[in-house]
Amino acid sequence: MISIEKIEIDVANQGHITNSYLVYDENKETILIDPGYNENKIIDVIKSLNVNVRYIIITHAHGDHIGALEKIQKYTNAKIIVHKNDYKALMSEEENYSEMLNVPKQNLTKESIIEIEDGYKLKFSNLKFEIIHTPGHTSGSICIYDMVSNKLFTGDTIFCDCYGRCDLYSGNFSDMVNSIKKIFARFNDITIYPGHNEIVNINSAKKYIKMLFAIKGITI
């Protein structure tokens, strides 16, 4: 049985809420997705659930998704997984907007990071995940497919009623369109866990996003 704990993080205490997720099995083996800020809150949840965080997966390297990364990594000794296209931004304060977001610069070691590509599979204990490369918000944005419980963590690619912005560093609207087409073609009637806002069925999100694209004359 797979359990999911949503942790709402107020990034830099400015009312900007990022969703972090703990995904764990009956053995308490765990991944952590997007530790956005406030490592104490995240660590308190880890302790309360008594879980063992083996990997920290970053859906994309923006400051509001990595603000507690260094301290959580040191606390858990977990490996950090990031798409290779976002590795540079992960290590660069300017390209990940940490300073703009009032998030501390992350001093990460190369040894703690695993760079991955589209289709990467992560399997341990009773957990199985597939990494789906979905560029658009950033060039290294990913969605994480939970192959056991049939859930999809969409980062800032797909939200409950819109898609992620494409005007930041390495963002690209054409890539976003293609990524959303890819996800919509593959998944139907699946629960999505986005980087911000509410958890929803993907069919609900499709209605809003198709309407937004239609306004731009794009059919998906």
Average pLDDT over residues 182-200: 98
| 176 occurs within a structural domain | yes
**pLDDT tens digits, one per residue of 29-48:** 999 999 999 999 999 999 99
Spatial distance between the Cα atoms of 37 and 68, rounded to a whole number of angstroms = 5
What pLDDT, in 10s, does the model give residues 163-181?
999 999 999 999 999 999 9
In a domain, 193, yes or no: yes
Domain-embedded: residue 30: yes
Q: Is residue 220 in a domain?
A: no
CATH number of the domain residue 117 falls in: 3.60.15.10
Confidence bin at 185 (pLDDT 50/70/90)? very high
In a domain, 70, yes or no: yes
The answer to whether residue 56 is domain-embedded is: yes
Residue 48, domain member (yes or no): yes
pLDDT band of residue 94 (cuts 50, 70, 90) is: confident
Provide the token pair at 173. Answer: 């609207």
Q: Which residue intervals of the chain are DSSP H helices?
A: 39-49, 63-66, 69-76, 87-90, 173-186, 202-215
Instruction: Residue 28: give the domain boundaries.
Output: 3-215
Q: What is the pLDDT of residue 99?
A: 92
**Alpha carbon of 207 to those of 9, 95, 134, 195: distances in Å?**
27, 32, 19, 19
Q: Is residue 61 part of a domain?
A: yes
Identify the DSSP state of 195. S
Average pLDDT over residues 110-133: 98
Tally of structural domains, the chain: 1
